Amino acid sequence: MNKFDMKIKKLNENAVIPTYGTEFSAGADIYACIDEPLEIRPGETKIVHTGLSFEIPEGYAGFVYARSGLATKRGLAPANKVGVIDSDYRGELMVALHNHSDSVQTIEDGDRVAQMVVMPYLACNFILSDELSDTVRGDGGFGSTGVKA
């Protein structure tokens, strides 16, 4: 497993440093850093502060995903599905949690609210072209590669 050091800054003295649940976890748990419990009504989205900012290395980005237990058991998941933290962002990591359930959900200080995976990415030079190479799939879209009934 590859590991590297990444600087983080506590913007709030009560912020919790991200942790990995197991030795081989890809995502590091991100914790709420809030002054009082935060209620999220059904269908509502609320911003959850973490009290942390990150210095993600150039060529990498932090991808913020739902925690599977929080999403399946309580219906809470990031509103934007996957958050992207660019390497040049130095502000606070905040998670926009959306309540997909039928009941009010409460986030407490120190709750694990998301997980972050740090991955390399490739930036592209987009080159306008009149033609693209042919493939077997061609322009087949949604469901085009599934089994035909």
**CA 34, CA 12: separation in Å to the nearest integer?**
9
pLDDT confidence tier of residue 31, bands split at 50, 70 and 90: very high
Decide: pTM greater than 0.85: yes
> Predicted confidence band at 134 (pLDDT cuts at 50, 70, 90)?
very high
Q: Are 30 and 118 in contact (CB under 8 A)?
A: no
* Amino acid 147: pLDDT: 63
Per-residue pLDDT band at 50 (split at 50, 70, 90): very high
User: What's the pLDDT tens digit per position in 53-79?
Assistant: 999 999 999 999 999 999 999 999 999
Structure tokens at 124: 């592209």
Q: Is the pLDDT of residue 39 over 80?
A: yes
pLDDT-derived band of residue 6, with 50, 70 and 90 as boundaries? very high
CATH of domain 7-120: 2.70.40.10
The structural domains of the chain, with segments of one domain joined by +, span 7-120
pLDDT in tens, 106-123: 999 999 999 999 999 999
pLDDT at 92 over 60: yes
Q: Is the pLDDT of residue 140 over 90?
A: no
| C-alpha to C-alpha distance for 110 and 33, rounded to whole angstroms | 6
